[in-house]
Structure 1
Amino acid sequence: MYGVIPEWVNLNDRVAREEVEVFLEGFDLILDQDVDYTIVIRGGPSKGSSIIATCSKAKNVLKCFAVSEELQGEGIASSLVSALLDKLFNQGVYHSFIFTKPANARFFSALNFKLIHSNADVALLESGIYDIGKALQKMKTSYHLGDGEKASLVMNCNPFTLGHRYLIEEAAKNNNEVLVFIVEEDLSLFPFKTRYELVRQGVSDLENVIVVPSGEYLISSATFPSYFIKEEGKRLRAYVNLDASIFGRYFCEFFNITKRYVGEEPYCQVTNAYNEALKKVLPTYGVELHQIARKTFRDVAISASRVRSIIKGRDDQELKDLEGLLPDVTLKFLNTSLGRGIVD
């Protein structure tokens, strides 16, 4: 509108960051902690050099949009989106997402973003050189996946434990083909490539099991935006319902998945809420959820968090317990230089 070029904000500058945060507070929004690039537009007839609009990104997720109310509809938001997409293009990133309020989905659709799914609290849209349909087709081709009925599991495996192995075995016993999706986001102690290889090697004897990366569309609660959903309970509900719906609507339909297996969750609130969402959402897509009692060691459910705690604690007696918690492939990895480098 004013011919003003969006201005980059150095978020390491406390004063500059606070200025953006204060502007967002006026819209009941916050600046997400994972933001790695922020731009603003300044000026206007009565605004002087103050911020009149802003938006940010975290990797390839666009977020934290706000435009002064009197300037909405003037094309400023479009300029901000274009500037962020140019930044991604210069970084060699040609595909992006937007999490936003459902009421804003139509605006971003007009900017060539395609709606993936929405619920009462959040809408997820994408734009770029491919979409979810093309991504799933590439996955199917790359891993030679057929059209027969399949069971599935979605796992982080941080790291791969005997508990994970047990769940996969249970699915393999009762189904002709099992897909194990390993969460691809690198937000865990053990990197994705390591987690993927440990599972792939750890189930290589199960001929009807195929291990595949999850791709970008199975969302981690750690990357789910909080900038417009600040209340934790509401944000958790929005996340679990969105992710469960994307899995049912797209993954299950495309890969002919008719069953999904999960372990009972006695410890983690997020995982337990996610399992409850799956119970409600998956049947609407014709998919059965099978919740399996967790494998135990010394009468305690095996968990990756317990393994990580033992590794960090380095208590000799507890370290011996790892033999009852981890398969050989993970135990051997922990004794390699790469494994020791991760946990040290």
Structure 2
Amino acid sequence: MTAATMTESRSSTSLKDWIKLRLELLPTLAALVIFIAMVIYGEVAYGRIVQMSTMSNLLINNSHLIIIAVGMTFVIITGGIDLSVGAVIAFTSVAGVMLTNAGWNGWLVVLLMVAMGGLFGVVSGVLVQYFNVQPFIATLAMMFLARGLASMLSTVPERLAADASILALATQFKIIDGPKVNDLIITPGVIIALVVVLVAMFLLHRTRTGRTVYAIGGSEQSAQLMGLPVHATKMWVYVISGLLAGVAAVVYTSRLGIAQNITGIGWELDAIAATVIGGTLLTGGVGFVLGSVVGSLVLGLMIVLITRDGGIPPEATTIITGGILLVFVLLQRLVLARQRD
């Protein structure tokens, strides 16, 4: 064999190894491609998609989904699931509005809302880790508990007073003054979502806790044999998910100024869909925070396009979401099969 042939063979092997190592990125890249394709289609078909005001509204309207999708990413990477986030948002938002209207300090209420979300996460984590309850059952129980408590608090919409301090989180700041109404706008709620994303990225990719999260999803038994803090980490991922559900409740409530016991129905499924579309494997061990952000924006943009079209019934949103989710689950199966080869 000549030197040139050997070099070519080594290059080919290196390329195959590189591709195999990058296969786990394929679903995330596919989500990014779909998002870009949706933007292009929307601009061609309806117009006024590629502009600052549309992108600003996309971020503002989906900041709460981005936050809970980030929390869901932690849980799913470990091989778990959290079905309680939508109900937790309902309970914390109703409780927060009622406390605010009762005269409590607004910023203290914000902290209490986040803490209440974290408390639900603690209970879920204890059930999963120390009582060996399946995550599906444990978080399903928390979902019913939170939804029931929200209904006990109030069955009618609770509105914030016009001078409630929490409403400041929805204040719009003009970053770029564009022509007519085409402005780049940001709110404190969006900033909170961006901070959550950055902190989560650092935690998952730059800390021992993050490495443990991935290790648990890959093989919990192996993670234990390596001496990693499996028990504490499994607890923390549910606490993180609960805390972020509380944060999402704060952001959402500040934007709408209203809370209801029916708020958040189906949001846990939206968060799971966004996470899976963004490349997090349901089997655990693989996932990306930025991928979950892209998945959230894909779902948000889909709603924008359906609204712009006008001919597609709103009920079709769930059908389209299910179809997209099915495609990405099949893509994940393909990736797993390729990794085994």
Which structure features the higher share of helix residues? 2
Q: Tell me: higher relative CO, structure 1 or 2? Use CA pairs within 8 A at least 6 residues apart.
A: 2
TM-score (normalizing by structure 2): 0.22
Which structure features the higher share of strand residues? 1
